[in-house]
Amino acid sequence: MKIGIIGSGRIGGAIGIRWAEAGHQVLFSSRHPDELTDLIKQAGENASAGFPAEAAAFGDVVFIAVPYHALPQVGEDYAHLMQNKVVIDCGNPRADRDGPMADEAIAKGTGVASAEYLPGVRLVRAFNAISWIEVGEEAFRDGDLIGVPIAGDDAAGVAIASQLVTDIGFDPVVVGGLDRAKEFDRGTDVYVKGLTAAELRTALKL
């Protein structure tokens, strides 16, 4: 699968490396793609670098891993390139960093808020409740895998996101539609706790 990544920092980089290792074609992006040389070398032959617009156009799936305050601009600049594509959003609104729009997103629930910023895409919330360190160190761990909660209104998009979770050594847990994504937002009891899928289902009453 071709995956475009908008936001190639810690979480975007860590997950993108795992997808490239799993055999997916990954285009990491930045406003300064020449600064991604080390990341591309680490990710290997399935990885390349480009600008965000190129990632949006390239991907069968687009993974957005930007600070939450940047999401409205991502939608304004690139939503037209992502129409009807599966878009996975992992951003977490933080009032200390993102200002008043974070409070609004938290009040609505991040899944609902993100959908408003990214019109026309098949949005899935995933990978927001796991840390880049866990992605780097806990993938395919012995015993029960770490669960990754997922929410989305598009069943096919949720299925694709679930497979992409499985591909990098974690266990997908489908929570429900975008309105339920708030149940694994930053600050909830299941956020970055390293819970197994069974523990997640118990905590979220699934």
Q: Is 17 exposed, middle or buried (0-12, 13-18, 19+ CB in 10 A)?
A: buried
Per-residue pLDDT of 81-129, as tens digits, reads: 999 999 999 999 999 999 999 999 999 999 999 999 999 999 999 999 9
What are the domain boundaries of the chain? 2-203
Mean pLDDT (whole number) for 132-145: 95
Distances from the Cα of 149 to the Cα of 38, 74, 127, 194, angstroms: 30, 23, 7, 11
pLDDT of 168 reads 98
Inter-residue contact 164 to 19 (CB < 8 Å):
yes
Instruction: Express as a percent the part of the chain with pLDDT over 70.
Output: 100
Q: Among residues 77, 78, 21, which one has the least CA distance to residue 47?
A: 21
Q: How confident is the model at residue 152 (pLDDT cuts 50, 70, 90)?
A: very high
pLDDT of 104 reads 93
Q: How confident is the model at residue 135 (pLDDT cuts 50, 70, 90)?
A: very high
pLDDT of 196 reads 97
Inter-residue contact 184 to 204 (CB < 8 Å):
yes
Mean pLDDT (whole number) for 70-91: 98
Name the strands in the sheet holding 2-6, side by side, starting at the edge strand that comes first in the sequence. 47-50, 25-29, 2-6, 61-64, 86-89, 122-126, 147-152, 171-176
pLDDT of 118 reads 98
Angle between helix 110-117 and helix 71-78 axes, rounded to 10 deg: 30
**Mean pLDDT computed over every residue of the chain:** 97
Superfamily of domain 2-203, CATH level 4: NAD(P)-binding Rossmann-like Domain (3.40.50.720)
pLDDT of 68 reads 97
Mean pLDDT (whole number) for 68-75: 97
Strands 122-126 and 2-6 turn out to be unpaired
Q: How confident is the model at residue 63 (pLDDT cuts 50, 70, 90)?
A: very high
Inter-residue contact 123 to 154 (CB < 8 Å):
yes
Specify the amino acid at residue 71: L
Is the four-CA dihedral 168, 66, 180, 157 of positive or negative sign? Answer: negative
Q: How confident is the model at residue 30 (pLDDT cuts 50, 70, 90)?
A: very high
pLDDT of 34 reads 95
Mean pLDDT (whole number) for 131-156: 96
